[in-house]
Amino acid sequence: MKKVLVIGEILVEIMANEKDQSFLDAGDFSGPYVSGAPAIFIDQVAKFKVPCSILAAVGDDDFGKMCLKKLKEDGVDITNIKITADVSTGIAFVRYNSDGSRNFIFHLKNAACGTLRSEDLDTMSWNDIAVFHVMGSSIFNKEMFSIHHKAIKMIPDECLVSFDPNIRPEILKSDPKLKELILDLFSKTKILFVTEDELEFLTQKTSLKQSLDSCFTKGIHTVIVKRGKAGASVYTDSQCIDAQPISVEEVDPTGAGDTFAGAFIAGVIHQWSLETCLRRANYAGASAVTKRGPMEGTVLFDNVIHK
């Protein structure tokens, strides 16, 4: 079976225990939990028994060891994860508000995950990679920009690019170069994961139909629209399939989209039908929100195969 590749940050997440807890005062926190959008994504791919790898960096510290152990145990190929001696593993602090919003403090750019360089791609083999999954949120500095720029030029024609822009339109608007790269990535994409807002922003169209038509014209063959607790839909130029929402108690929404995308892409490698990919991804996304910790709700292959 061919592999899935992602490039980006691995970090640990420390969570405030109380809703509306402030970062300005001392308080109780839980964690560390292994996190980082690409790490959550690739962990779910591995748990669906698909060979996969992540190009990333962690520090030579206990947080880094914890991340490596978890990803390896779950089946991720960790040989492309650098261990940096001088900088520590990335950290995110998160707190939840009673209106459902979240606040983060990231230690990322100056942490191990900020040390990836485009030369790190040179030793990688692309031969066995069937899907290169790109996450917009991982393009957080100039180097991550260069790495993705170079990677997108290196990938063989037969490798599919799946893309989750996962970025707020206001950030894109504030950085024209980033917008350029995102649009370049968009033009190479075959499978797109978006919210309706992101789709509208990327295509500059105002109706869903017009946005989808614009994607298909550009060569994207599958568009997956994520709708949080309202479920998800998959569109091709000849099909529209909806996944009805699964009713769950939402304990921690972080990572649902990454888990969903990991499950869907694993299904593509397994050559499941689109309907099955969507149904199992919807199940994985719903499961993700039921557990405290961004990666704790990822789903095992054996638990989904009868869904």
Nearer to ligand ATP, 188 or 226 (CB): 226
Choice from 75, 231, 276, 292 touching ligand ATP (CB under 6 A): 231
227 is an interface residue for ligand ATP by CB under 6 A: yes
248 is an interface residue for ligand ATP by CB under 6 A: yes
Q: How far is the CB of 272 from ligand ATP (least distance, A)?
A: 16
298 is an interface residue for ligand ATP by CB under 6 A: no
Binding mask 143-182 for ligand ATP (x = CB under 6 A): ----------------------------------------
Nearer to ligand ATP, 62 or 197 (CB): 197
Binding mask 185-224 for ligand ATP (x = CB under 6 A): ----------x-----------------------------
286 is an interface residue for ligand ATP by CB under 6 A: yes
Q: Give the total of residues touching ligand ATP (CB under 6 A).
A: 22
Choice from 160, 256, 266, 299 touching ligand ATP (CB under 6 A): 256
Binding span for ligand ATP by CB under 6 A among 11-19, 77-85, 90-98, 241-249: 241-249
71 is an interface residue for ligand ATP by CB under 6 A: no
Nearer to ligand ATP, 237 or 250 (CB): 250
Nearer to ligand ATP, 75 or 228 (CB): 228
- What b/e string do you get for 149-187 counting C-beta neighbours within 10 Å, with b at 16 or more? eebbeebeeebbbbbbbbbeeeebeeeeebbebbeebbe
Q: How far is the CB of 38 from ligand ATP (least distance, A)?
A: 12
229 and 250 Cβ atoms separated by less than 8 Å: yes
262 is an interface residue for ligand ATP by CB under 6 A: no
257 is an interface residue for ligand ATP by CB under 6 A: yes
Distances (CA, A) of 283 to 46, 58, 117, 165, 280: 16, 30, 36, 22, 5
Instruction: Give residues in contact with ligand ATP (CB under 6 A).
Output: 195, 226-229, 231-232, 245-246, 248, 250, 253-258, 260, 282, 285-286, 289
